[in-house]
Amino acid sequence: MKKLMIGVVVMMCSIAASAQNDAIAKFFTKYQSDESFSQVTISGKMFSMMANLSGETEEEKAMIASISKIKGLKILSKSEARNSRELYKEAIAMIPTNSFEELMAIRDKDKDMKFFTKESGGKISELVMVMGGNEEFMVLTLFGEIDLKDISKIGKSVNIDGLENLEKVKDNKKN
């Protein structure tokens, strides 16, 4: 009987964790067929293929090692979006606060940006960024084993708007 109860508890926890991930996936699913949105999906296979590259410097080798730990990336964006503030609020509302922690919020005169992380065992397993501006909107989710410092460098090198702000987290932790 005790084993049965433990099994039920484990199963319920895994279903709850799955449902939390589904909240973000539901947002993507809701808008992915809307042609006014741009969508980028990079699978774990693509990241593992990148890990086969050989870096010349120690920094490049470290970045390749970090990339190999990423399991996937999804970006959903919309430019010339008159409803960008509403999309921003909708996306933020779908992020489960019981499993994601707000890492950083940036408010500028024409855009808001929030970063959320999900941690397990002291390691970041998912990073979500939501950005809403005057006429632009973007939600990004990155999952796997994530090092924020390396993700900031990768974001700069591939020009993913917003990820360079993760350097500020490192700087703020020092102060």
| pLDDT given for residue 158 in this prediction | 55
| pLDDT given for residue 35 in this prediction | 92
Kindly write down the DSSP assignment for every residue of 79-111, as one continuous string.
Answer: ES-TTHHHHHHHHHHHS-TTT-EEEEEEE-SSE
- Per-residue pLDDT of the chain in tens (175 residues, 90 and over written 9): 333 333 333 333 333 334 445 667 888 889 988 999 999 999 888 888 877 777 788 877 777 888 888 899 999 999 988 889 999 999 999 999 888 999 999 998 888 999 999 988 778 899 999 999 888 999 999 888 887 776 666 665 555 566 556 655 544 444 4
Beta strand pairing call for 38-43 and 70-79: antiparallel
Element (H, E) at 38: strand 38-43
- Show the tokens assigned to 127: 């990073």
| pLDDT given for residue 57 in this prediction | 82
| pLDDT given for residue 155 in this prediction | 61
